[in-house]
Amino acid sequence: MQQSSVSVIGSGIGGLSVAIRLAISGFGVTVYEKNDRPGGKLGILEQQGYRFDTGPSLFTQPANIEELFALAGEPIEAYFSYRPVDISCRYFFENGKTINAFTKSSDFARQMQEVTGESPEAIEQYLRNSEKVYDRVGNIFLNYSLHKSSTWLNKRIFPALKQTGFDYIFSTLDQFNKLRLRTPEAVQIFNRFATYNGSNPYQAPGMLSLIPHLEQNQGTFYPKGGMISIIDALYKLAIKKGVRFHFGTKVESILTENGAVKGIVVNGEKISSNLVVSNVDVYYTYLHLLQDKISASNVLKRERSSSALIFYWGIAKEFPSLHLHNIFFSKDYPAEFRHLFEYKKMFSDPTVYINITSKMEPEQAPPGKENWFVMVNAPAGSEIFTNELIQQSRLNILAKLKRMMGVDLEPFIETEETLTPGGIEAQTDSYMGSLYGTSSNSKWAAFLRHPNFSSRIRGLYFTGGSVHPGGGIPLCMKSAKIVSELILVSRSK
């Protein structure tokens, strides 16, 4: 039996996931996407034989994708394959130390001891705690709406909160880490996980210590064909389940009447629908699609997450010292975050992240060459990114890599593209180019993210990185699950 029809605005990972779930549940689903292809922040750039994933590069929690295929009764192997990566990241420090973060915790702990003198027991204990808190607290907070009484009536939630130590909420992640780890390198590595959702480890709470569980315990993975293959697989699955797509089709507004959704406007034409899911940044949804300036400005009361400045470099040389994921840390991490969140400026000694998928699949670059995705954290907002600043940031990166790798890279850069926060905003309508919607810098950020539904407009739902439970592929997919469950519950009443 076909349920009623749903209009989904946007085909980012959240929009695609919700479309698949609702189609499987019997809804007629139509997705409207302003760009010419699905994926939103997950994009692809091909240049002179180099292939680049333009957005996300780190793949964790493939279970979210497996779940969709299992629900759809489709064999995932016919659409998508991936393999585990044994080193989640290679970390480089200005003092010359290099650490391989093995995903086997005993190997990682031993490596930390050998290179930095950190206690291996401290590392293993940290990771065990990370798992415990993820299982107890994360699983409830990330999988359910925090804005429904049914979640709070869930008997597990109060014991979970009670068992969580005081410092998970009242210490910053940095303070939390300094209490548990002795060496500056270990603290910096575990502080870095705040950037998973675009936050500042010197402000965000110790609760973010549950994030390393994803990378260091559950593991990191590489999808065959790169990150874009996630989108290609979900798009194919959506088509198979009967979802209709309109690309190059910008939704102009969402229609409401008497506190309920009535449809959307596309190319000046009204399309009736009692159910609308917006996968577009919630600020943009309020301001432009609902013309609701008050709700939009309420969204802005929460600090935006950080953004990024990215260089896609085709490098005419191979570098055996690098792995799939590489981080060259700033010498002064606190100053870097002060620049990002307080002064809203680029820092002269930025932490540089380099992703090279040709390490996993040589065909991602021409023979003997490598495809470098080079990213530094940037403050959200486009106005500071003049050509001069972009060039200066580029020089700072090259100088840092020369210092730390002993190579002048400039002669090896044979293709180059740049993406700024303004470019991210233009491509996806994410306000100020924030990668993850709002930051988690406040203690109560988890509770303050926008709900997955509108409390004033019946039939209007929100999925994606700007709403609960947050940004990043796994959380966007969880938001889609929450939305589809909320819709099914509301239909059964």
Ligand X SMILES: Cc1cc2nc3c(=O)[nH]c(=O)nc-3n(C[C@H](O)[C@H](O)[C@H](O)COP(=O)(O)OP(=O)(O)OC[C@H]3O[C@@H](n4cnc5c(N)ncnc54)[C@H](O)[C@@H]3O)c2cc1C
CB of 392 to ligand X, least distance (A): 20
Distance CA 468, CA 452 (A): 6
Regarding 473 and contact with ligand X (CB under 6 A), the answer is yes
- Which of 132, 148, 240, 250 contacts ligand X by CB under 6 A? 250
Interface residue with ligand X among 9, 123, 228, 324 (CB under 6 A) is: 9
Candidate list 101, 296, 310, 346; residue touching ligand X; CB under 6 A? 310
Specify the residue, 181 or 230, whose C-beta has the smaller distance to ligand X.
Answer: 230
- As a whole number of Å, the end-to-end CA separation of the chain is 17
**Alpha carbons 71 and 82: distance in angstroms, whole number:** 19
State which residue, 300 or 407, has the beta carbon closest to ligand X: 300
Q: Which stretch binds ligand X (CB under 6 A): 74-82, 94-102, 119-127, 426-434?
A: 426-434
Q: Judged by CB, which is closer to ligand X: 57, or 440?
A: 57
Residue choice 130, 199, 430, 454 for contact with ligand X (CB under 6 A): 430
Scan residues 172-211 and list those touching ligand X (CB under 6 A). none
275-278 and 460-462 strand pairing: parallel
Per-residue binder mask for ligand X (CB under 6 A), 255-284, x = binder: ------------------------xx----
Q: Judged by CB under 6 A, which of 464, 478, 482, 484 binds ligand X?
A: 464
Interface residue with ligand X, options 3, 25, 35, 98 (CB under 6 A) = 35
**Is residue 435 at the binding interface for ligand X, with CB under 6 A as the rule?**
yes
Supply the minimum distance, in Å, between the C-beta of residue 333 and ligand X.
19
Task: Give the residue, chosen from 55, 223, 263, 423, that forms a contact with ligand X under the rule CB under 6 A.
Answer: 55
Q: Which stretch binds ligand X (CB under 6 A): 184-192, 298-306, 441-449, 467-475?
A: 467-475
Candidate segments 118-126, 254-262, 392-400, 429-437, binder of ligand X by CB under 6 A: 429-437
Q: Per CB under 6 A, which region of 3-11, 79-87, 134-142, 268-276 contacts ligand X?
A: 3-11
Task: Compare residues 279 and 364 and give the one whose CB is closer to ligand X.
Answer: 279
Nearest-approach distance from CB 298 to ligand X, in angstroms: 19
> 36 or 257, CB closer to ligand X?
36
* Min CB(103)–ligand X separation in Å: 16
251 binds ligand X per the rule CB under 6 A: yes
Query: Considering only 8-16, 100-108, 163-171, 328-336, which stretch makes contact with ligand X by CB under 6 A?
Result: 8-16
Q: Which of 51-59, 138-146, 185-193, 216-224 is the region at the interface with ligand X (rule: CB under 6 A)? A: 51-59
Pick between residue 14 and residue 459 the one whose CB is nearest to ligand X: 14
Cross-strand partners of 307: 378
Query: Tokens standing for 187?
Result: 């603290």
Give the total of residues touching ligand X (CB under 6 A).
36
- Cβ 310 to ligand X, closest distance in Å? 6
Residue nearest to ligand X (CB): 12
**Segment near ligand X (CB under 6 A), from 77-85, 142-150, 423-431, 454-462?**
423-431
Contact call for residue 33 and ligand X (CB under 6 A):
yes
Q: Is 436 in the site for ligand X (CB under 6 A)?
A: yes
- Work out whether 421 is an interface residue with ligand X (CB under 6 A): no
3-class SS letters over the chain: CCCCEEEEECCCHHHHHHHHHHHHCCCEEEEECCCCCCCCCCCEEEECCEEEECCCCCEECCHHHHHHHHHHCCCHHHCCCEEEECEEEEEECCCCCEEEEECCHHHHHHHHHHHHCCCHHHHHHHHHHHHHHHHHHHHHHHHCCCCCHHHHHCCCHHHHHHHCCHHHHHCEHHHHHHHHCCCHHHHHHHHHHHHHHCCCCCCCEHHHHHCHHHHHHHCEEEECCCCHHHHHHHHHHHHHCCCEEECCCCEEEEEEECCEEEEEEECCEEEECCEEEECCCHHHHHHHHCCCHHHHHHHCCCCECCEEEEEEEEECCCCCCCCCEEEECCCCHHHHHHHHHHHCCCCCCCCEEEEEHHHCCHHHCCCCCEEEEEEEEECCCCCCCCHHHHHHHHHHHHHHHHHHHCCCCHHHEEEEEEECHHHHHHHHCCHHHCCCCECCCCCCHHHHCECCECCCCECEEECCCCECCCCCHHHHHHHHHHHHHHHHHHHHC
Q: Which of 216, 428, 438, 454 binds ligand X (CB under 6 A)?
A: 428
> Regarding beta strands 251-257 and 413-419, do their DSSP bridges make them parallel or antiparallel, or are they unpaired?
unpaired
Stretch that binds ligand X, among 73-81, 140-148, 397-405, 468-476 (CB under 6 A): 468-476
CB of 46 to ligand X, least distance (A): 17
Q: Phi and psi at residue 187, in whole multiples of 5°? A: -65, -45
Binding footprint of ligand X on the chain (CB under 6 A):
9-15, 32-35, 40-42, 55-58, 250-251, 279-280, 308, 310, 424, 428-430, 435-436, 464-465, 471-473, 476
